[in-house]
Amino acid sequence: MKRNALGRGLDSLISMDDIQTSGSSAINEIPIEQISPNPDQPRRNFDETSLEELATSIRELGIIQPLTLRSAGPDAYQIISGERRYRAAKLAGLETVPAYIRTANDSELTEMALIENIQREDLNAIEIALTFKKLIDQYKLTQDRLSERIGKKRSTIANFLRLLKLPAEVQLGLRDKHIDMGHARALLAVDKPTLQLKLYNETLKKGLSVRQVESLAKQYQQQAENPDAPQQQPPKRLNNKDYEVLKKHLSTSFGVPVKMTCDLSGKGKITFPFKNEEELEKIITIFDKLKE
């Protein structure tokens, strides 16, 4: 009985030069006009600048790594892996491309495209989530079964699928890398889409860290659950002018150019630089006097 290569884990499933499916191991030169992309390709965004750079390289060196195709009829082939190389080859004006010809059904085709892109880290979180959902819906898979098929933990699959519950604007922001996966997961701690969107916009405006979003999400959710409860007032923040005054005061008191840094949460540090041992002793003496 033919062994299903997709039953193995991610690490053992794919060699980037030769996906482990049945078919010829020989490299064929295939006319580019006979090749079509996989309509279920998980990757939706191809950076134009990056494609142009790859096309330039292909013009100079050719395609180093063959594409992997499956037969889609007489003189017709569909891409299993290598759509970016295919697009760049068209830009470069190639008439043929090197390729392996493999045998794969529709389910295997989608899974292999997903797995290869994940291994290459080519997909953004939303593309991965949408492909997980499509595989589950189209092939009637449970999260546990999908976990077995692609070698990912069930919890990982569940976390990606939860991203699809976020408002569309937030999903686009994650896709376009305005926020990362950590920010998105923090937003999910808030139940109401309107509050998720409000916190998302605040995150972009203030450049909040994941930890800051987690803290605010908790406050948003508590306020939503207890609207009559008094809102916690944020601590008073010093402005840049206040920090400059404090820095100047410390520099004068210690006789060295004191440095101060502070993040959006109000946390920071004060640094007392010294040029020699004499300045160090002077700083220590001042600290000792403060303890008296």
E-strand spans in 140-280?
Answer: 259-262, 268-271
Catalytic option among 29, 48, 53, 83 = 83
CA angle 112, 14, 57 (to 5 degrees): 90
What is the distance between the alpha carbons of residues 290 and 292, in angstroms, rounded to a whole number? 6
Beta strands 67-73 and 96-102, pairing class:
parallel
Identify whether the C-beta of residue 104 lies closer than 8 Å to the C-beta of residue 118. no
Identify whether the C-beta of residue 76 lies closer than 8 Å to the C-beta of residue 34. yes
Beta strands 259-262 and 96-102, pairing class:
unpaired
Helix axis angle, 143-150 relative to 154-162, nearest 10°?
Answer: 120
Alpha carbon dihedral 72, 76, 79, 82, in 10-degree steps, equals: 160
The SS3 call for residue 14 is strand
Active site residue 48: no
The SS3 call for residue 33 is helix
The catalytic residues are: 83
